[in-house]
Structures are given as structure tokens and as C-alpha cells.
Amino acid sequence: MRPSSSTSERAAGLFDGVLARGGVSEMVADAAWLDAMLRVEVALASVHAKHQVISDAAADEIAAMARPELLDLGAIAAQAAQSGNPVVPLVAQLRGLVTDPHSVHLGATSQDILDTVMMLIASRALGVILDDLAAAIGAAAGLAEAHRDSPIIGRTLLQQAVPTTFGLKAAGWLVALAEARDRVETVRHERLAVQLGGAAGTLAPLGDAGPAVVADLATYLGLAAPVLPWHTDRVRVADLAGALGTACGVIAKIARDVALLAQNEVAEVADGSPGGSSAMAHKKNPVAAICAAGCAAAAPGLVADLLAAMAHEHERAAGAWHAEWRPLRELIVATGSAASWLRACLERLTVDTDRMRANLAASGIDSPGPDACGALVDRALREVSHG
Amino acid sequence: MRPSSSTSERAAGLFDGVLARGGVSEMVADAAWLDAMLRVEVALASVHAKHQVISDAAADEIAAMARPELLDLGAIAAQAAQSGNPVVPLVAQLRGLVTDPHSVHLGATSQDILDTVMMLIASRALGVILDDLAAAIGAAAGLAEAHRDSPIIGRTLLQQAVPTTFGLKAAGWLVALAEARDRVETVRHERLAVQLGGAAGTLAPLGDAGPAVVADLATYLGLAAPVLPWHTDRVRVADLAGALGTACGVIAKIARDVALLAQNEVAEVADGSPGGSSAMAHKKNPVAAICAAGCAAAAPGLVADLLAAMAHEHERAAGAWHAEWRPLRELIVATGSAASWLRACLERLTVDTDRMRANLAASGIDSPGPDACGALVDRALREVSHG
Amino acid sequence: MRPSSSTSERAAGLFDGVLARGGVSEMVADAAWLDAMLRVEVALASVHAKHQVISDAAADEIAAMARPELLDLGAIAAQAAQSGNPVVPLVAQLRGLVTDPHSVHLGATSQDILDTVMMLIASRALGVILDDLAAAIGAAAGLAEAHRDSPIIGRTLLQQAVPTTFGLKAAGWLVALAEARDRVETVRHERLAVQLGGAAGTLAPLGDAGPAVVADLATYLGLAAPVLPWHTDRVRVADLAGALGTACGVIAKIARDVALLAQNEVAEVADGSPGGSSAMAHKKNPVAAICAAGCAAAAPGLVADLLAAMAHEHERAAGAWHAEWRPLRELIVATGSAASWLRACLERLTVDTDRMRANLAASGIDSPGPDACGALVDRALREVSHG
Amino acid sequence: MRPSSSTSERAAGLFDGVLARGGVSEMVADAAWLDAMLRVEVALASVHAKHQVISDAAADEIAAMARPELLDLGAIAAQAAQSGNPVVPLVAQLRGLVTDPHSVHLGATSQDILDTVMMLIASRALGVILDDLAAAIGAAAGLAEAHRDSPIIGRTLLQQAVPTTFGLKAAGWLVALAEARDRVETVRHERLAVQLGGAAGTLAPLGDAGPAVVADLATYLGLAAPVLPWHTDRVRVADLAGALGTACGVIAKIARDVALLAQNEVAEVADGSPGGSSAMAHKKNPVAAICAAGCAAAAPGLVADLLAAMAHEHERAAGAWHAEWRPLRELIVATGSAASWLRACLERLTVDTDRMRANLAASGIDSPGPDACGALVDRALREVSHG
């Protein structure tokens, strides 16, 4: 009664609608890794040709042959276990397709390829995450502006405190999202770098040309050029992890606020297209907020794993490098999915200002009204890029 | 130049040879989840029929129709996003296939199905992990016995200290593995329980029959019966996480020892079928130890995420439940893969007692020899189940 | 304007009222560690005397001299840095106080003392934590019994779902707390073991008497005797961490429920002696629930750190052992404080059944009432030890 | 036989020599928190006086009375539990000392004070950490320069690979440390901000003057001024955590390298003032590297806890805020201690180039020498600030 293999393939992604929403998942899929691995080998050959280390013809042939459909991907996956990574069998196959096998992967080691691929993939995925964050920021700005003067009871320690406005609440979301966005953007532009060092990170096989080759490879691939090969300096991975973990933390805060405001007893906001229940037809679950929270919750542990994996031994780690692949992938997916859910949540949020006013009145709190809030909202809208 | 969709499917698992070794990966795949979801619905119908809540014919029809090939799995995956989980669309489709839709999923809520599925999947996966741990334990016992009296320099803080034996070192691995195994086994037999509670965990729709239905469902599925529905009591998940995290910690310790002993400058053990390098043909990398370490390193963060997700609000969590799915799956895969690698590592480990003796002699340490070690090895072999 | 040193001492514990509530904090303080270190050295001497390794007079002298007031504790703390742990200077001072220096610390290494101390301290601290858990369990049982039939709207995904009873809610807390308690108890009784192995864990200096000495030491100190020295097998530490982390997860769940139920808009429970605010006199903050949640939140990361520290190299770790001290201490304090707060929270919880009924009526949900809940409450009270 | 209370106080810091080395520990001690709390209240009063919200005399009186020795610190600590934080009792006492109680803490809430204090303390502590990182960077640069051309076998996956130089290895440490340093510096200068918002973060009590008061307070205290109050936007805390966690990761890498190079079988470096053992007089433990590794290992879990605590509810968190205090403090101490140990480790590292050459020769690897390394070392020394 086991499902057939074709069924199994179609079923791939059973939880992806919830946990891998948005465009990021595809960008970290195996196909994307393979694609990027080939792209790096092609780039390397092209740069080698420019530096006359290999011929233009050899580089052109590599570019022509570096196509997934010419490779036996099943064999690559299977043989990856023998060497501990998929680059060794991929390079072997690619070498089998070209006239001069030595022109392939010249001066590089497996980690050079995978580290650079990781950065390429992160760069593209962060682009998508930034799009979703930008949309969420736009939505938060819209809410802040529209509700600049909508009074709401402020709540501290989950108790009614003193009045504020929903606009200021949304402006708080806006500022936090913008800070997270800024950090993701900085990491994307400044910290994602090409890695090339050869067997022990010395660039030895490239002689004096080493740094120039690295610089050209970086330009070719649209990545930064590092001061030194960073094969055992994982600050870039940590920077990436930290930026994504922070974004998830901000998303979790906003999702929590929305879920709390959407409680029936509070009912100040509602999810615009809520989800049902398999047991209760009347339920209006704030699915977007809840899924955003569920996805974002993956971040702390994944960041911890990536930080704990920074102690790469000598010139290549005895396990810590392998330990990065899965958590980084998962962290990118979790952040992308959380950002996509939050965007949906904020874009379709409906706000019940009457209920806010009623709850405020019922609180019996007669503090002076939140006159100062409008100015703060204006300040946030003015100082934070949200267009 | 993007790979075709069929290529993409074939490429699934690019890193699985390294990070998802052994039999566990398949057991937590989407197909296994779907299979188990259907199995739980069938079990529920069967138990309902026994209790005359639905007719035998209705239960039989559900059993006949609950086949993956009759479902539109793509639609299930796609619609999962709307309700926040895949049970809602699955139940809708299954209801469409039978004469009496109300006989399907009766008295259950989505979480009942998914929680029970999680336990079923864990039960099967832990069986495989226990097999690999048992084999690793057997290998460690073999090494302890064979090298009961093989002297080796003991090393503390990575400095040569006083003599011990390789047999006692292996006996230490044996005892640690056995402790981890015992805990995994206990959790598997005592803590994996069926979940059934209905919409708010009250078993309300089943009237007085509730507890009996739960007990029968547990028997049917080979799981424990809980005192109460545990939909928001996640101790079972934490127990599972703790047991797997502990096993990974033990594996990491042994893998680290092997990698250190295999250093060229030490050279006291070697991996029996070492892996090569894409840049250095002479390398004899201890791939199994390194991959075991790499896989095991995933555990701490995943356990942290699962513990952090224990605060399920009221009668169903607003995100924390969704937050369990991915880390639990990843943790099972990581542990299974690490156990499989460690088994391979220990089963094919070659031991160089001459080199051990030479290193010991070169240490210049003339402490009295490790006469006490043999008795400790015997004790470990005697008291720890390893057969 | 820096505070004087005496001021500084008086100020010790500025956050302890919140983060180190209850009796546990004192039990993991430096004084308790020192006390236990001396106790282990005395026990070791006593056992050596029994085995005629040292004279009874020597053992008696050690017992007489092993008093904190005879030691220069400042010097111990200062010199700890030189050897990397405080046992080396403590042993040196103790040797200086007795006639036969060699009779002190015989056959032991620093880690033997500190590991055994860690277990002794954990044993005492877990006793206090178990007391607080037992009281919280009693309070939960009391609430379950008193409110066996008090209807309340069940809430899923923070939305009103179908009716349940507050008694069943409390019974759910009861069962979860009892499961956590059972695990802590099991770990305390079965897994806290004496550690004695000598320089490389071989028990070499004790000759054939090794295992008997270990057994006697265990009996003397009220700890379990391990199969082998466990200096680099950290399953016991992981078991301890897992049990405490799980308890914190359960506490976090209950604290979250209470804080949510105490929201003004819900108002179904209140903290019996709520705390005020520095800015808002009208506030009735559910301080106990909030502090319980705040303390419990420390656990996931601390457990992760302890699991990540399991890879102890060879016969003594190069850092991973040192890495356990602080997180284990913090985890014990966090769990103890969280348990103490939760006990206070549940013991003084006031329940507003009128409000529960009103909220249920206002929900407009006309599902059949939670008749099944009473039987489940009875079952929980019957099957779970809570007396 | 319990130690007397005065003994207990003297014993404070039993593990601090190992786990709280350097100047940071004192800066996060309770006395420092109290000191900073008073400093913030004084600053607030001073700014209020400037804005004519209170009189200059009132501000002067507050400044005169805000001295730890005038407060009953024991009472503050004890009463902190009632309100959930120590600001409430501190403000009450301070108000009792001045003519106009209302002039104290005006417009502020407890979290305003503690958040600002956290930033002040972090700012000072990061200064010390930066000093130690700078010294470690200087030492790494010195090693890179001195050993620019000292050949050493490169090691990948803990196996001998191809030659590199010790200078390039040290240059790799240099670059990683500099990257970590740069991030800590950026966070210190750009992200540590004053917090002032009042009861619900609206700045309501200050009317139109709010933003100006915040700006002046920031200037007074040497912190950044935020766009909005950040009481529930914890990106700043996450930034701080990420920077410290990253620094610990870099330190862990270097410490691991040193401990591995110091193995007797490798013996290419040694700790200049190694520590002994309580059981083995001949041991030369690389205590500094090991303690650096032990301290740094605390970071991943603490960062995870801080990221997980970002979901602050509404206008003040119901537990997540309290959950930050301890891990942030521990993380600062761990990083400071790790940095201090690493500085000591690198400053007194002795390098055995003969042994490096001998190990390289013994490897039998006849790859072309690492001619390219010198240029890379030069590049690192040129491009990275290390003076």
C-alpha cells in the first residue's frame, strides 16, 4: 500500500504550502544547487581563459557541456557519499564530457565550489526575501498612515495599560521590519563573497595570478571579493544567519501581535482571507499570522547550529563545514516563508477601529489620549524607507 | 539553462548521501506522511465501526478508498496552505470518495491526525535508528574485546597524559552508545502515543466512548494510549527530541575521537574505505567519521527549537504546533544519518596497535601501565547489552 | 561614583528575585560548589581508608581540615585560571593542611571531583525543583477538581472553538507537569552518578580495588555507580538537561495560558497577588505567570549548549567540559525559578467562572456542551500522582 | 558545615577565573546595573530640567541623591520580585530621598530604564571586548608577519593535505578576527540606542517635546537616538547578540586550531605559560586555548535564546523581555572572557618552525611549495586594520 514512486514525487512538498511559502524554496532546491555548481565551474573556466591559464576553446567547451541534462544526476547524488560532497562526482562527470579534463575545476577544491554556490544561492534567495519584506514594509506603512490617529488601548504584559494608536503600533512594525531589511540588504551586498583557495586555501596552483583570478571570478558572479580565501573563516555564514534570524524575530513579533489582536475577545483586526478548520466550520483562523509565526520559530535553533559550526579546523573542517549545508538551507526557507506569510498577513489585514474604540472605552482607563502618537508615526514614515 | 522539472526530481537528494544516509530519510518523506495520514483515518474508521459509531460497510469503504493513488496529492499540498495544514484537504478528498462523507474523520481534528502520524513515523524511524545504533554498539564491543589489552596513550585536553588501552576507549564508546540506545528505546516504547481529542481535546463528539476509542485506536496503531489528549502537552515531543539529541551527542564524541586518532601525525586508526578529494589524490579522508559529526551537529539547534515550541496556547497552538513539523523531521533524519555513518565508521575501522605502541613509547611517559583497564572492559562487556 | 565593594556585595542578586526565585539558586552558588568539592574529597578519603589505601587517621584528618573557613578561597578562585579549574588550587591548599599530603585526592583527577560535585549539586537542586513541581501539580489538581464542570470556551489558534471545561484545562496542566516531574525524578534517581577514573579514566592508581572504591564512593555520596567512568560520556549531563528543558517547556505552556486568560478582554483568571507598574497604578500584572515564562525561556538555548558540548575529546575534553559548568548551573536556576513562580501562580490563581460562562455565551457557539470533560478530569486525577 | 555568609561572599567567582576572565565581568555585575540605573534617572532629570519640565533644583537634587550608598539595595532586590523588575523599588526609594517625588522617573517606565541601562552596559563592555580583540588581532598580525614564509603542512578534514605557511594560517585568524571586530564596533557605534517611551511607548507624557527629550537623553548618555521607542522592537538586541556570537565563533576556530597544533604528536605551537594538572605533573595543557574554546561555546545557545525572545507582545512583552536579561549578560561575559583568553593565547604563543618543517617533510607530500602564501599574507596585513 506504499505510494508509487511517481506519487511520491508528486507529493513532494506536502508541508511546503505552509512551511515553504513564496519563491525562496525553489531557489535552494537541489536543482538550483546543481545549476549554481555548474555556473561556478563555467565562471572559473572563463576567468582562467581570460588569464590564459586555459584556452578560450576549452572554456567555451566547458560552458557548452555544463548542462544538467548532460549529467547523470542520480550518480552524482549517489557518489557524493563517497567523498563527502557532490562536487567530486560532478567534476568527474564534467571532465568526461570535455576534450581537456584538466581544464575543468582548475585550481579549485570542492569547498571552493560549494561555498561560492552557497553565496550565489543566498544572493538570489535574499533578493526574494527582500521583495517580501519590502511589501510587508509597504503594508505596515500603509496601516500606520491610515490609522495615524486611530486610538487603541496599549497593552503591556498582556494587560491593558494606557492608550496609544493603531498607527503607532503599525509604525513600530514598520521600523522593526525596516531595520531587519536593512541588515539583510547589507549582508547581501557586502558580505556574500566568492570563495577560491584551492586545496589548502593558498591559491597556490594559480601562482601570482591568484588574487586577480579571485577578483575576476567575483565580478563574473556578482559577488564580493574577499581579502583572503574564507574557507575556514565563517563570519560570512554567521552574518547571513544573524540577518535572517533577526528578520524572523521581527516577523514573529508582528505575527504574535496580529494573532493576539485577532482573538475573538479582542477582535480589533482580522485576517482578510482566513482559513477554516477540519472540525469547526465557524472558525476564522488567522492562518497567515500563525504560519508566519510557525515558520519564524525555526530560526533560533538554526542560527545556533550555524554559530556552533564556526570552529572549522585548520584548512578545512572535519564535519563543521558539512554541518552548515542543511541549517543554512532551512534557515533561508524558513525566513522566506515567514516573510511571504507576513506580507500576505499585513496586505490583507482588516482593521476594526470601532472595536478598538469600544475596547478602549470598556477599559475604563481615562489617561490623556495619545496625542503624541501622530508625530511619532509621521517621523517613522519620514525617516524609514518604505516606498 | 534551468534544469527541467524531471531533472529536478531526479536530482532530489543531492546532499542526501551525506546528510540523509541510511533508511530513515524515506520514512519521514512526504509519501510516508501521506501514507500514515491515510492509515490513521482508516484506523479511526475501523475503531468507530467496532464501537458502532459508523457501519462496518462505511469503515470498509474508507479502508478501500484511502489509497494515495486515488487522491490528488498536488491539490492537497496546494490547499494545505489555506487551512494551515494538509489534513483539511485530504479529508475533503477522502470524503468525496465514499458514500457517507460523515463517516470519515469522525470526532477528529487535523491535529489529532498529524500528531498521531508524527508518532507513527517516529516509531518506524526509531526502529531503523535503533538498528544502526545496535550495529554500532556491536562494533564498539568488538573493538573493546579485540583490543582489551592494546596500550595507547591517554589524552586529556588534547595532550598526552597517561596510558590507557584502546579497548577501554572503545568500551567507553560502547557504554555511551548503549545509554543513548536505551533512552531511544524507552521513548519509543513508552512515550509514542496516539492523539485523539477532537476540536478542543475534549473527546466530546464521542460521548462516553471517548477513552475506549482512544485505547482501541492506540492498540490498532501500536502506540501507547495517553491519560489525556496531549494536543497541547508536548512532553512526548520533547522526550523524543531529547533522546535523539543525546544520541547525536554520543555519536559526535566518537566521531571526533576517530577523526583525531586518524590524523596522520597520530595514525592510530583509519577509516576502512576512506574518501578522496577533488584536489588531492593522496588524501585518505575519514569520511564516515566526518559525515557522522556533520550530521550530528544539527541536533542541538533542532532540539532547542522543539523545546522552545512547547508553549502551545490553550487548546491548539497559534504557530508552535506548525513549528514542530520541520525540526522534528530534520532531527530524525540527522540522527538516522549520523547513526548510519557511525555504524559504517566503526564497522570498518582499522586499528594500528603498532602505531599506538610507538606513540606511547615516544611520549616518554613512564607511568605504570593500564593494568586496570582490562577489568573495566570486561565489566562494560558484561553489563551492557551489545549482542 | 562607583559603588563601594561592600555595596556591590549587598547588591548581589539584583535580578534574583525575578530570575532566581526559590531555593535552588543558593544550591548552585559558589559556596555550595566549594562545600561539595570538600565533601567529595572527604568521601574519597573515607573510602580509601576503608580499603586501607590510606590510614583512618589520615582520612579523619582530611575530614577535619576540609572546611571552607580554613581555606583561602580568594586564592583558589584566582589560581583556578592557571590550571583551568578550581580543583587544582583547592587540593593544593588541602594538602597543605594535613600531615600526609599524598592521602588527599588520591587516585582522582580534577574532573572526577567536579563531575561528582555537579551531580551532588544537581541532586539537591532537583529535590527543591521536585518540591515546587509537586506543589504546582497539587495546585493544578485542585483546580481540575474544583472546576471539573466549569464550562469555558476552548480556543484553538487563539480563536474561540468549541466548549471545554476549565477543569479539563487544568487537568491538562496537571498531566503535563506530572510527566515532566516523573522524568526529573527518574533522572535524579537513576542517572546522577559518581565519577571517579583518575588521570585518564582508567582507575589505574587504585589497581584491582577501582570498581569497589567507585561503588563505595557512590554509596557514601548517595549517587549511582556507573558501569565505567563517564568523564567523556556526557549522556548523564544530557539526560539532566533534557529533563530540565522539558520541565521548562511545560511551565512555559501553563504560564502562557494563564497570561492569556488574564488578559482584561478575557479576564477568566487573575493572579492572586498581582504586581504593579512603575508608570501605571491601575495595572494588575500577572507577575508570577510572566516571570515563570521569562525564566523558562532560558532553557532551549542552554540545553542546546549542553548537547553541543557532548563531543568530549579522548580522555578529557579540550574545552567542552569547561563549557558545561555555566549552562548547567544556569539551567538549574532557570528551571528552579520557573517552577517556583509557577507554583505561586497556580496556588494563588483566582478563577472567574461567571466570566467564563459569559465569554462562552458571547461566543455564540452552540456546540453540544463538554459533557465528556468530567470523565477525562476524573481519569487524570485518578491516574496521575498528585498528592 | 555550610560556609558562613562572609565566606560565601569571598568565594564569589569560583569559576570566574576560567569563565569570566578579563574586565567585562565587573561591567555587567549588579553594581554596574544599579550604577547605570541611577545614571539614567539622573540623565532623564537633567534633560527634563533643560526642557523646563522640572526645575534645575529638582534635577540637581536627584543627581545628588542618586547614589547607591543612599539606597537599601537589599530591599530593592527583594522587592524586585513583586513588580517583576528592580526599577519599581529603586524609583520608590529615590523618590523618597528628594523633595519632589514627581520629578523622578518622569515620563518613563521600568523598561525604558532597563533597556537604556542594557545599552549603556553593553557599550562599556563592548569597549573592553574590542580592546581584547584588538590585542588578539595585533598578535595574529605579528604571527602572520613573523611567519610569512614558514612552511607548514595544510590540513583538511584533519588529514595532511598540501603545504601552506603558518603566516597564512595566522593571517586567516587575523582576517576573521578583524571581521568580527568590525561588526562589534559597528553595533556598538550605530545600534546601541537610548530607550524612552513611557507606559506604552507613546512618549505621551512629554507632549510635543518627546522626540527632543529622547535626542537629548541620547546625547547625554552617548547612545544613539532611535526613530521610535524600541521597547518591543528587539532588533538592537539581536544585532548585539549576533555580533557577540560571531566573535565567539571566530575565537572558537582559532582556539581549536591552537589546541590541535599543540597536540604532542603535532607540537607545532605551544602555549607560553601552560597550566598543570592535579594528577599529572608533566602535562603542559594549552589552558588559554582550551578556556577560550570553553567560554566561546556558550554563545550559540545564548544567541538562540535572545532571538527566540524577540516576539514581544504588544507594547511590553509578557515574559520575553525578562527572558533577555540573563542571556545577554551571560553572552557578554562569555565573549569577553573568550576574547581575553584568546588574546593571552596568541600573545604568548610559541611557534616551533623546525617541527613544522619536520612534520611537512615527514608527510611525504611533494606538492609545489606555498609560494603564493606570502603575497596573501601581505595582502591581509595591508587591507586589515591591525595596528
For chain D, the straight-line distance linking the first and the last C-alpha, in angstroms and rounded, comes to: 54
D9, pLDDT greater than 90: no
**Residue A151 · residue A360 · CB < 8 Å:** yes
How far is C57 from chain B, CA to nearest CA, in Å? 28
For chain B, say whether D201 makes contact (Cβ under 8 Å): no
Which of A277-286, A369-378, C23-32, D260-269 is the least confident region? A277-286
How far is C318 from chain D, CA to nearest CA, in Å? 5
Tell me, what's the pLDDT at A18? 92
What gap in Å lies between CA D197 and CA A380, rounded to an integer?
14
- For residue D364, give the 3-state DSSP assignment: coil
- Measured between CA atoms, the residue of chain D closest to residue A178 is D235
- For residue A165, give the 3-state DSSP assignment: strand
C202, pLDDT greater than 90: yes
What gap in Å lies between CA A143 and CA D330, rounded to an integer?
38
pLDDT, tens digit, 9 for 90 and up, residues D142-183: 999 999 999 999 999 999 999 999 999 999 999 999 999 999
What gap in Å lies between CA D76 and CA C14, rounded to an integer?
7
Chain B residues within an 8 Å CB radius of D266: 263, 265
Tell me, what's the pLDDT at D279? 61
Residue with cell 487522491: B71
Could you tell me which of A225, A166, A236 has the C-alpha nearest to residue A377?
A166
Torsion sign (Cα): B252, B254, B260, B264: negative
What gap in Å lies between CA B81 and CA B85, rounded to an integer?
6
C84, pLDDT greater than 90: no
What gap in Å lies between CA B318 and CA B302, rounded to an integer?
20
CB atoms closer than 10 angstroms to residue A215: 15
Compute the mean pLDDT over every residue in chain B, rounded to the nearest whole number.
Answer: 93
Question: For a pLDDT cut of 70, what percent of chain D falls above it?
Answer: 94
Provide the β-strand partners of residue B159.
Answer: B156
Could you tell me which of C278, C255, C241, B68 has the C-alpha nearest to residue D102?
C278
Backbone angles phi, psi at D351, to 5 degrees: -115, 130
Chain D residues within an 8 Å CB radius of C108: 278-279
Given C316, C348, C355, C357, the catalytic residue: C316
DSSP-derived letter for residue C197 is -
DSSP-derived letter for residue B105 is T
Residues C348, C353, C355: CA angle, nearest 5 degrees: 110
D311, pLDDT greater than 50: yes
**pTM to 2 decimal places:** 0.96
What gap in Å lies between CA D2 and CA A303, rounded to an integer?
42
C269-270 and C159-165 beta bridge pairing: unpaired
Residue with cell 538570489: A124
For chain C, say whether A281 makes contact (Cβ under 8 Å): no
Tell me, what's the pLDDT at D290? 97
Provide the pLDDT confidence category of residue B194 given band limits of 50, 70 and 90: very high
Tell me, what's the pLDDT at B285? 87
Could you tell me which of A344, B37, D350, D12 has the C-alpha nearest to residue C80?
D12
Q: What share of chain D is helix, strand, coil (3-state, %, to 5)?
A: 65, 5, 30
- Measured between CA atoms, the residue of chain B closest to residue D356 is B265
Q: Which residue in C2, C5, C8 has the most chain D C-beta atoms within 10 A of its own C-beta, making it the best mutation to test that interface?
A: C8
Q: How many CA atoms lie within 13 A of C123 on its CB side?
A: 18
Per-position DSSP letters for A38-102, written without gaps between them: HHHHHHHHHHHHHTTSS-HHHHHHHHHH--GGGS-HHHHHHHHHHHTSSHHHHHHHHHHHSS-GG
Tell me, what's the pLDDT at D47? 98
| Inter-chain CB proximity C15 and D302 less than 8 Å | no
C6, pLDDT greater than 50: no
DSSP-derived letter for residue D279 is S
DSSP-derived letter for residue C153 is E
For chain C, the straight-line distance linking the first and the last C-alpha, in angstroms and rounded, comes to: 54
- The predicted model gives B41-54 an average pLDDT of 97
What gap in Å lies between CA A86 and CA A92, rounded to an integer?
10
CB atoms closer than 10 angstroms to residue A165: 28
Provide the pLDDT confidence category of residue D65 given band limits of 50, 70 and 90: very high
| Inter-chain CB proximity D79 and C17 less than 8 Å | yes
- Measured between CA atoms, the residue of chain C closest to residue D67 is C1
What gap in Å lies between CA C263 and CA C281, rounded to an integer?
17
For chain C, say whether B206 makes contact (Cβ under 8 Å): yes
Residues of chain A with pLDDT under 50: 1-12
Q: Which residue in D111, D234, D278 has the most chain C C-beta atoms within 10 A of its own C-beta, making it the best mutation to test that interface?
A: D278
- The predicted model gives B201-214 an average pLDDT of 90
| Inter-chain CB proximity B203 and C245 less than 8 Å | no
**Residue B367 · residue C210 · CB < 8 Å:** no
Tell me, what's the pLDDT at D11? 34
CA D276 distance to own-chain centroid:
29
For chain A, say whether D322 makes contact (Cβ under 8 Å): no
| Secondary element (H or E) of residue C68 | none
The answer for B 118-157 residues in CB contact with C (under 8 A) is 154-157
**Residue A130 · residue A185 · CB < 8 Å:** yes
| Inter-chain CB proximity C88 and D325 less than 8 Å | no
Per-position DSSP letters for B136-196, written without gaps between them: HHHHHHHHHHHTTT-EEEEEETTEEEEEEEHHHHHHHHHHHHHHHHHHHHHIIIII-B---
For chain C, say whether A365 makes contact (Cβ under 8 Å): yes
| Secondary element (H or E) of residue C221 | helix C210-221
Provide the β-strand partners of residue A160.
Answer: A155
For chain B, say whether D160 makes contact (Cβ under 8 Å): yes
Chain D residues within an 8 Å CB radius of B287: 157
Q: Which residues contact B252 (CB under 8 A, 6 or more apart)?
A: B292, B293, B296, B297, B338, C310, C311
What gap in Å lies between CA B353 and CA C367, rounded to an integer?
74
Has D277 been annotated as catalytic? yes
| Inter-chain CB proximity B304 and A304 less than 8 Å | yes
The answer for B 28-87 residues in CB contact with A (under 8 A) is 29-31, 33-35, 67-69, 73-74, 76-87
Could you tell me which of B275, B269, B293 has the C-alpha nearest to residue B356?
B269
**Residue D328 · residue C298 · CB < 8 Å:** no
Residue with cell 582507575: C203
Has C277 been annotated as catalytic? yes
- For residue D375, give the 3-state DSSP assignment: helix
Chain C residues within an 8 Å CB radius of B203: 372, 376
Given C8, C83, C273, C277, the catalytic residue: C277
**Residue C210 · residue C156 · CB < 8 Å:** no
What gap in Å lies between CA A362 and CA A313, rounded to an integer?
62
Could you tell me which of A11, D261, D274 has the C-alpha nearest to residue B26?
A11
What gap in Å lies between CA B343 and CA B335, rounded to an integer?
12
Backbone angles phi, psi at A224, to 5 degrees: -75, 155
Provide the pLDDT confidence category of residue C11 given band limits of 50, 70 and 90: very low
Q: Which residues contact B382 (CB under 8 A, 6 or more apart)?
A: none
For chain A, say whether C161 makes contact (Cβ under 8 Å): yes
Per-residue burial over D100-129, b if 16 or more Cβ lie within 10 Å, else e, is: eeebbbbbbbbbbbbbbbbbbbbbbbbebb
Q: What share of chain B is helix, strand, coil (3-state, %, to 5)?
A: 65, 5, 30
**Residue B338 · residue B249 · CB < 8 Å:** no
C5, pLDDT greater than 80: no
Which of A315-324, B290-299, C294-303, D76-85 is the least confident region? D76-85
CA dist D98 → A156, D58, D114 (Å): 29, 8, 22
Provide the β-strand partners of residue A163.
Answer: A153
Burial (CB count within 10 angstroms: exposed 0-12, middle 13-18, buried 19+), residue D5: exposed
Ramachandran bin of B364, using left for φ above 0, alpha for ψ from -120 to 50, beta for the remaining angles: left
- Measured between CA atoms, the residue of chain C closest to residue A284 is C159
Q: Would you name the residues of B annotated as active-site residues? A: 277, 316
Q: How many CA atoms lie within 13 A of D362 on its CB side?
A: 12
**Residue A146 · residue D188 · CB < 8 Å:** no
C118, pLDDT greater than 90: yes
DSSP-derived letter for residue D285 is B
CA dist B135 → B178, B331, B344, B348, D231 (Å): 11, 20, 9, 12, 54
**Residue C50 · residue D114 · CB < 8 Å:** no
pLDDT, tens digit, 9 for 90 and up, residues B8-31: 333 348 899 999 999 999 999 999
What gap in Å lies between CA A73 and CA A37, rounded to an integer?
12
For chain C, say whether A93 makes contact (Cβ under 8 Å): no
Chain B residues within an 8 Å CB radius of A277: 83, 88, 109-110, 199
B134, pLDDT greater than 70: yes
For chain C, say whether D255 makes contact (Cβ under 8 Å): yes
User: Of the candidates A84, A285, A292, which has its C-beta nearest B290's C-beta?
Assistant: A84
How far is B347 from chain D, CA to nearest CA, in Å? 20
What's at D193, amino acid-wise? A
| Inter-chain CB proximity D157 and B283 less than 8 Å | yes
How many residues are present in chain B?
Answer: 387
| Inter-chain CB proximity A253 and D246 less than 8 Å | no
